[in-house]
Structure formats: structure tokens, C-alpha cells
Amino acid sequence: MIRQLVYRSRASAQMSQVDLDKVTSDSLPFNLNNDVTGILLFDGEYFFQVLEGESNLIAGLYEHIQKDPRHGNIVKITDNAIHQRDFGDWALRTIKLDQKSGAYWLPSDLSLHRDSRIFGLLNGFASGKWRMCLSNKDLKALRASVVQDEINIAAYAQSDIQFAFQPIVDTHKGVIVSYEALLRSNDGRFPEDVLDSFHGSEKYQFDLNSKAIAVAQGAQILRPDQALAINLCPGAITHCPDITNYLLGLASDNNLKPQQLILEVTESEIIEEGALFFDAIENLRSRGIRVALDDFGAGYAGLSLLADFLPDKIKLDRRITTNIHENGPRQAIFEAVFEFANSMGIPLIVEGVETMDEWLWLQHAGAQRFQGYLFARPKLNGVEKLNFVVSGINKAVNVRRVG
């Protein structure tokens, strides 16, 4: 099987024409001996390379390329099987772009279909796409600080379940904006396992009852300017004939304002609901309770759900976040969702941030609110100590930190 792999990277230092020629001369013998074809573009700062060849060979070659000290900030843009090569006549063609290069630029001796993916990618790079790295100067000047002491609260008395709390941080403002309450059972089961042990109306009633514990415990953690996010099955919302007053009652009993409650519902669950669910959501909003679309990107509804639902907050699923700094398709998805959220005035929260590399890319792309192990893990009956302090970074590549 023939594969075509496309990546973008950034030169580690200024490169002369002699340096660029050496990149070519270093690569050509291997490519010729192993039937690897492709093209390498360089604009004075960024590389953009297409590799074509047998699947296992291309995978191993890419691993080798990633270790080359002459570049960093490597992002895999595409990696897929192809029917035929686009660069079958070239073991490696290296082209240096100049300032005259722009959209719809191609070498005169290269013919590609204008509706092909590789045509769009080549011209996208020539016109400025895929250039998204913090400069060394910016990295050294980078500052961020979110600090919070550990918080411990008493376990909820005579209960088989408790809640763990994880902060959502705004690294731009340097504050914790809210906490998510996460269900935990005394026997160590995950929330999905706990809920799946109930069926029908019994499941929904348990889900509703558990929120009384979540709000009671969460109220002991919150400051007046912070909110508590609770997860609730859409079926539980429609199961309760007066869900609005029920949740308002929980808030009032624990001296919280309605605006301090955020109801999280998942994309995959919403698409199964009808008018009764959406009417209940409108009623909740009319009384001050906000609604967040959780795990966006994990389900199948996609952008059409955003257009119809317009949540108060969007939480981008961790499957989009993981290794986003080196994954072109995930970066493109983030940019689309971020642009939509900005256009509609909806705060975007990025879930599952676990490494400094991920955070660096996301915050440079515009994200401000984050949730993940890089900052704090969920803590049973309390909040883990948070000490996220960035005071200049000398190197963006291969920096790792897990909170």
C-alpha cells in the first residue's frame, strides 16, 4: 500500500541555500534506494514536506525525520493511503519559496488537479497556512500564573457516592473560573459504570438525586465569582416534571445564585432528544442557570448541533486536544470551533490538556480556558493544589509537564 504523508516544521536556525541543499543531498540516497518520492518547500523559516512510498517505510522515515535537530515544532498534517503518487517523478524536489509566492502557486513543471487535497495543501502553505508557532522571543516573554491552595471538605455523610472536583482555569486572566463536579462511587467505579447499573426512570432519579450531593459539596468550595458545573443526563432533565425549580432549590438551599450553576450535557446524548428537552433548557436559561455542551467533537451531531442549540459554553473534547501541537487535522478542527465560538460570543473550554506543548499551542491559537491534568487532577471531596506558573520558556519542543 502506498501512503502519502504531509508534515510541516520550523527550522531550528537560519538556513542558507547551502544548508538547504544539504537537506536534499542527505535525503536523496535513501529515497532513491527505497522508492520514496515527494516535494520539500521552504520559505526561509518553515518546511513543508510531502512523502510518498510504501506504508511501513514512510512511517519509519517520518520517525527518523522527527529526530533531525535541524527543525522542530513538527506537525503531521495528513497521513493516508493513495491510489497513485502525485510526485512519482521526483525522489525529492526541494523548492525555496520567495515573497512572490502566493495562493495557487505551483512549480511550472508540476501538474495537479485543482480540486485535489495536495493542491490545496501546497498552495495553503505558499499563502501562509500552517505557520503557527511562538517565536523564541515570544516564548521567553511568556507569562502565566494560576495558583490555588488545596481545598478539603468533609465527605457527604451516609452516602455510597461522593464527588471529586476539578478546576477550569483561565490562564489569560490567571484565575479559576469554575469547578466541575465529577461523580465517584465508594467502590471505585467510574461514573458511566455507576449510571449504567440503573435502568429507565430509576437511572434518571439517581442522576437527579446525586446532584443534591454535588451542589452541597461544591458550595463549600466556590467563591461568589466562581461557578459549579454539574453533569446531568438529558433523560433526567425530561424525566423531572419541574427540573428548573428543582435545580433552583438546590442552589438556594446552598446559598448559591442561579448563575453559579452550569448544567453540562453531552453532544452524543442531546441528538437523541426532542422538543421537550429543548423547552426545558430554555426554561432553565430563563431563570439564570447556564448550559454547557460537554465533550464537543466526541459525538456525531457536529456543527449543526451548535447552530440549533447555541449553548452558553462549549467544552472541546479531549480527543481533539491530545497532541494537538503536532496534529494538523486536530488543529484545523480547533480553529473552526474557536472561530464559531468567537463569532457567537460563546466561551470555549478546552478539556484534557495534559502537556505544556498542548497548552502552548492552544493558548497561542487563542484559547483562554482550560481543564486538565496539566493544571490539576480531580480530587475527591476537595480541590487539588494548583501551581501553574510559567515565567519564560527557552524551548517549546519536547517540553512536558503533568500536574
Q: Which residue has the cell 483561565?
A: 170
pLDDT of 255 above 90: yes
Mean pLDDT of 205-220: 96
Rounded CA-CA distance 370/172 in Å is 10
Characterise 45 by phi-psi region: left (phi > 0), alpha (psi -120 to 50), beta (else). alpha
Residue 268 has pLDDT above 90, yes or no: no
pLDDT tens digits, one per residue of 338-396: 999 999 999 999 999 999 999 999 999 999 999 999 999 999 999 999 999 999 887 54
In this predicted structure, what is the pLDDT of residue 271?
65
Distant-in-sequence, close-in-space partners of 384: CB < 8 Å, separation ≥ 6: 150, 166, 376, 377, 378, 403
CATH architecture for residues 140-391: Alpha-Beta Barrel (3.20)
Q: Write out the three cell numbers for 110.
A: 508540476
Share of the chain above pLDDT 70, in %: 93
Phi-psi region of 165 (alpha: psi -120 to 50; beta: other; left: phi over 0): beta
Q: Note the pLDDT of residue 135.
A: 73
Measured CA to CA, the distance from residue 167 to residue 170 in angstroms comes to 10
> Secondary structure of 161-215 in the HEC alphabet?
EEEEEEEEEECCCCEEEEEEEEEEECCCCCHHHHHHCCCHHHHHHHHHHHHHHHH
- The larger pLDDT score, comparing residue 129 to residue 103, is at 129
In the predicted structure, residue 169 carries a pLDDT above the cut 60: yes
Question: Tens digit of pLDDT for each residue in 271-319?
Answer: 666 788 889 999 999 999 999 999 888 765 567 777 778 899 999 999 9
What's the mean pLDDT in 181-191? 88
Tens of pLDDT, residue by residue over 72-122, are: 989 999 999 999 999 988 999 998 887 565 555 667 777 787 778 888 888
Q: Which letter does DSSP use for residue 260 in this model?
A: G
Return the C-alpha cell found at 260.
Answer: 453559579
Determine the average pLDDT of the residues in 40-48: 92
Per-residue model confidence (pLDDT) at position 330 = 92
Q: What is the mean pLDDT of residues 233-259?
A: 94
How would you classify the pairing of strands 313-316 and 348-350?
parallel
Q: How far apart are the C-alpha atoms of 297 and 59, rounded to whole Å?
A: 27
Residue 399 banded pLDDT, cuts 50, 70, 90 = very low
What are the residue ranges of CATH 3.30.70.100 in the chain? Answer: 2-131
397 pLDDT above the threshold of 50? no
Separation of alpha carbons 186 and 224, rounded Å: 30
Look at residue 396 in the predicted model and tell me its pLDDT.
44
Place of cell 465529577: 182
Query: Is pLDDT of 192 > 90?
Result: no
- The DSSP letter of residue 368 is -
Please, are residues 38 and 3 in contact by the beta-carbon 8 Å criterion?
no
Give the three cell numbers for residue 64: 527518523
Q: What is the pLDDT of residue 183?
A: 95
Give residue 368's pLDDT.
96
Instruction: Decide if domain 2-131 falls under CATH 3.30.70.100.
Output: yes
Length of the chain: 403
Distance between CA atoms of residues 191 and 383, nearest Å:
18
